[in-house]
Amino acid sequence: MIWTLHHDYNSPYFAQAGAAVTIKDYAWICSRAIILPGVTVGKGAVVAAGAVVTKNVADYSVVGGAPAKKIADRHTGLVYDLGDHILPII
């Protein structure tokens, strides 16, 4: 899930709050991850299944957990091209 808008729970009017989410090239968001408003997922970064991302994810890092924390680094020499391939969405 990628959230760009939510509500301010302290607002007496339940006001909307949010910001854009940026996902850079070669990033991989695994199943059931949640990306909160205002977050940038860096180039080549991996967000593990079920992670809750509350802060920016650095380029080529692997994060997991709730809240998401860095758990590994990813190699930087990525050259694959998905081109016109259709990937399943689960």
CATH number assigned to the domain comprising residue 55: 2.160.10.10
**Nearest to residue 66, comparing CAs of 23, 24, 36, 27?**
36
**Residue 28, φ and ψ in degrees, nearest 5:** -130, 115
Domain total for the chain?
A: 1
pLDDT computed for residue 68 by the predictor: 98
Q: What is the C-alpha separation between 18 and 54, in angstroms, rounded?
A: 12
Do 30 and 49 meet the contact criterion of CB atoms below 8 Å apart? yes
Q: What is the C-alpha separation between 36 and 52, in angstroms, rounded?
A: 8
pLDDT computed for residue 80 by the predictor: 82
Do 62 and 78 meet the contact criterion of CB atoms below 8 Å apart? no
Q: Does residue 83 fall inside a structural domain?
A: no
Per-residue pLDDT reduced to its tens digit, 10-56: 999 999 999 999 999 999 999 999 999 999 999 999 999 999 999 99
Q: Does residue 89 fall inside a structural domain?
A: no
Q: Does residue 49 fall inside a structural domain?
A: yes
pLDDT computed for residue 48 by the predictor: 98
pLDDT computed for residue 88 by the predictor: 64
Residue 87 has pLDDT above 80, yes or no: no
What's the pTM? Answer: 0.87
